Structure 1
Amino acid sequence: MKILITGSNGYLGASFINQYKDKFEVETFSLINQELENINFDDIKVVLHYAALVHQKQEHSYEKYHKINVDYPVKLAKFAKQNGVKQFVFISTISVYGEDEKKLDENTCCNPVTFYGKSKLEAEKQLLKLNDKNFKVSIIRLPMVYGKNAPGNIDSLINLIKKFSIIPFGGITNKRTFISIQNVCYIINEIIIQQKSGIFLASDNEPLSTSKLCELIAKNLEKKVYLVKIPFFESLLKIVKPSFHKRLYGSLEIDNSITKEKLNLKNPYSVEEGIKLMIKGKD
């Protein structure tokens, strides 16, 4: 099967190509260096759209988020449909649900608060209008993705554990759901080969507490660490770095049983196996 992938230089796109390059004939497209009008859709069956403007330390205007996260994919999907492509797979985010949810599933109401989340939800709505029996639109909402060389907070945590033997994250009992890059690529592959349309929610099978995550990372680094609970540390962090506090102490559990049932899906890797692959070095 011949597929067109945007965002192939990003972490998700590059990982999918690396894992499934022997299964699919892959064409790539760059929103930065190429024009949508010049795409050759000959024999392309599926468009897999990874490219996006994600959260930035320096926040951009909503107009910029809208241009990259809404206008580009919708225009691309319309071109694809006009040229006989059968499926458009759009990588979205749990940011469409907002930031106050503690537990969510496919039916949780969306209430995005960031420009990123708002733009992704708007794109979802416009793309789903193009869905019909000849052109299937598939939306995949992802939580934080981890894996070897993945950008984000888990990489920062790994570096912290590498440098220090005493970590002030003991006794944290929150529950947070992530997904390994291997499980992400697997669910995308299943949605393509099953040609399923609609909204899908991806996640590992079990949530982790911050303390448990630290323990698993340390175990696979083969390093002895001591997780301690420091009085007033949590309260101080909540005042000084509220967003960082929320990620370390807050809970966000994902139940994607509807997605699993729809796809007859079983994640190939457990949380423990995913963390091991991240530390030991498999893409």
Structure 2
Amino acid sequence: MRIFITGETGYISNRLYANLCLKQENYSINKKSIRNESLNRLDFTDMDIVIHTAALVHKKESKYSKDLYFDINVALTKELALKAKREKVKQFIFISTMAVFGNQEGCINSGSSIEPVTFYGQSKLVAEEAIKELEDEHFKVAIVRPPMVYGPNCPGNYTLLSKLSKKTPIFPLVENERSMIFIDNLIELIYQLIQNEESGIFHPQDPQYINTSSMVREISEVHGKSIYFSVFAGKVLKKLIGHKGLYQKVFSDLYYAKELSSYKDNSYQKYNLKQAITITEREQ
């Protein structure tokens, strides 16, 4: 099996490359940045699968134009998929995002509206639509919409929570539910999509919904640290900044319905929260 992964320095691409190399000796894997590389110089004629992880993401959108997001996340994706199809690649796996659902709260299910509000979410949705139009019996397209991805040395909010968990003696007790996915669970899903030659849209998540306070507790326990979780602090925090974006990203409810993330026997969900946090913190 010959696989090309886009994204030379990305978090998902690096972990994916390392794990796929370990999973199958008969995989031949090439990983490369396409941002500064002319697609004309890439040769997919011997490739079976292209996994497109590269994107413009984790940027303050006020500093980046909508055109830049669409140039990188849409135009480049479509050009890559067209090239893959022309050169007889059998499967194109596209890493999209939960952000295509926009600013919804609570449960996202099969009837939820798709209304992205950020340039990132909008560009990912347009890219999805563009590559789905290319699909046929010889060119399978699998679209993966992960929620927040966490794991060893990951970017984003998990790192902030991890640092806070090691320092603070008190943390707000908030009863929320969020979909997240441990990086190795995401990679296992991608591996199964390859093995099963899948097409379609997939919404993976960890086997249980994540409660922010519980995640902080698990992190602190790995490091042998005790934290007091305060109901009062949780209420004060919500009153003071409950309307702020940071609170919404960390403490609000946002999760996929279980049936939406179901895939075969759900064996891609190899690690539960405790196992994932232990692996993450010990590899930091």
CA distance in 1, matches of 2:57, 2:143: 17
CA distance in 1, matches of 2:148, 2:138: 32
Aligned to 1:101: 105
Structure 1 unaligned spans of 5+: none
Aligned to 1:212: 214
The alignment's TM-score, normalised by the length of structure 1, stands at 0.93
Aligned to 2:266: 265
Partner of residue 166 from structure 2, selected from 155, 162, 182: 162
Aligned to 2:45: 42
Comparing 142-151 with 16-25, greater Cα deviation is found at 16-25
Equivalent position SS for 2:95: strand
Instruction: Provide closer, same or farther for how the CA distance between residues 258 and 164 of structure 1 changes in structure 2, counting only shifts above 3 A.
Output: closer
- Alpha-carbon distance, 1:278 to partner: 1.0
Aligned to 2:280: 278
Aligned to 1:232: 236
Aligned to 1:9: 9
Aligned to 1:254: 256
1:19-30 pair list within 5 angstroms? 19-22=19-22, 23=24, 24-30=27-33
CA distance in 2, matches of 1:93, 1:76: 18
1:19-66 Cα distance to aligned partner (Å, 9 max, x none): 111422111221233111111113200000000001312531111110
Aligned to 2:55: 52
How many residue pairs get aligned? The number is: 277
CA distance in 1, matches of 2:44, 2:223: 46
CA distance in 2, matches of 1:138, 1:6: 15
Aligned to 1:75: 79
1:48-197 pair list within 5 angstroms? 48-59=51-62, 60-167=64-171, 169-170=172-173, 172-197=174-199
AA in 2 matched with 1:19: N
Q: Cα RMSD over matched residues? A: 1.6
Equivalent position SS for 1:117: helix
- Alpha-carbon distance, 1:13 to partner: 0.3
Equivalent position SS for 2:115: coil
The alignment's TM-score, normalised by the length of structure 2, stands at 0.93
Instruction: Provide closer, same or farther for how the CA distance between residues 18 and 106 of structure 1 changes in structure 2, counting only shifts above 3 A.
Output: farther
CA distance in 2, matches of 1:146, 1:275: 9
Equivalent position SS for 1:145: strand
User: 1:3, 1:45 within 8 Å by CA — same for their partners in 2?
Assistant: yes
CA distance in 2, matches of 1:107, 1:125: 18
Instruction: Provide closer, same or farther for how the CA distance between residues 158 and 33 of structure 1 changes in structure 2, counting only shifts above 3 A.
Output: same
Instruction: Provide closer, same or farther for how the CA distance between residues 106 and 88 of structure 1 changes in structure 2, counting only shifts above 3 A.
Output: farther
- Alpha-carbon distance, 1:260 to partner: 2.6
Q: Identity of aligned pairs, percent?
A: 34
- The answer to whether 1:33 aligns with 2:45 is no
Comparing 193-202 with 29-38, greater Cα deviation is found at 29-38
CA distance in 2, matches of 1:47, 1:83: 11
- Alpha-carbon distance, 1:257 to partner: 2.6
Instruction: Provide closer, same or farther for how the CA distance between residues 219 and 68 of structure 1 changes in structure 2, counting only shifts above 3 A.
Output: same
